[in-house]
Amino acid sequence: MDAATITTPAVLILLGPPGAGKGTQARMLEDKFGLVQLSTGDLLRAAVAAETDAGKAAKAVMEAGDLVSDDIVIAILRDRLGEPDCAKGVILDGFPRTTVQAEALDGLLSETGQKINAAISLEVEDGEMVIRISGRYTCAGCGEGFHDTFKVPVVKGKCDKCGSTEFKRRADDNAETVASRLAAYHAQTAPLITYYQDHGVLKGLNAMGNIDDIAGNLERIVSDAMN
């Protein structure tokens, strides 16, 4: 069955630590399958800007300096899933983060007649991720990305793209901070891995190779999940 013939919009979840490439892969899936990537942050900002009922509730909570509740996030997601551009399906990135949120999401999808087609875990090695993230830096002039090991400028100290000699690194892109972020991710996500494994929708994907190879393998998983 071709993805275009799907009558019930697909719901895919991307799981993976910081730097695993979720955003890059999600954009490729959007282009390939006509899906829409939905992240919690983008959903909240859009709902607040649109002044929906849920958006107004979220704005009040955020202005008070509090965390937006799961009920509000689910209400915003419910509104978003009903919009025309989500007719073929969505990719959830960054939600759910807990099993409580996963259960709430299941409840929402049961209302709409949808289901989780696949929860795809982008699997990486922590040691390699520390090297990958902590070595990143960008050109201060044009934003071109570089890496201490994997992508150094052709001419040392000079941007390949614009010729600038000024570079910058994110303050949290250091080995200690990255290791801490990875540990927090694993602690937070481990229950979700078990949850979706128990529900028979978990798919693991080695995310340490070439981007195009990873994309090809991911596309096959998604195509199978949508059929």
The partner residues of 188 in beta bridges, in order of sequence, read: none
Instruction: Give residue-wise pLDDT tens across range 197-218.
Output: 999 999 999 988 788 899 999 9
Active-site pick, 22, 80, 132, 203: 22
Look at residue 1 in the predicted model and tell me its pLDDT: 40
Task: Check if 27 is active-site.
Answer: no
Look at residue 3 in the predicted model and tell me its pLDDT: 44
Active-site pick, 56, 88, 169, 181: 181
Look at residue 53 in the predicted model and tell me its pLDDT: 94
Task: Check if 22 is active-site.
Answer: yes
- The mean pLDDT values, 10 residues at a time, for the chain of 227 residues are 60 89 87 92 92 94 91 94 93 90 95 94 89 90 90 95 95 89 87 95 91 91 92
User: Considering the entire predicted model, what is its pTM?
Assistant: 0.80
Look at residue 56 in the predicted model and tell me its pLDDT: 95
Active-site pick, 56, 88, 136, 169: 136
User: Of the candidates 85, 8, 99, which has an alpha carbon nearest to the alpha carbon of residue 46?
Assistant: 85
Active-site pick, 56, 88, 97, 169: 97
Contact present, 152 and 125 (Cβ < 8 Å): no
Secondary-structure percent of the chain, ordered helix, strand, coil, rounded to 5:
50, 15, 35
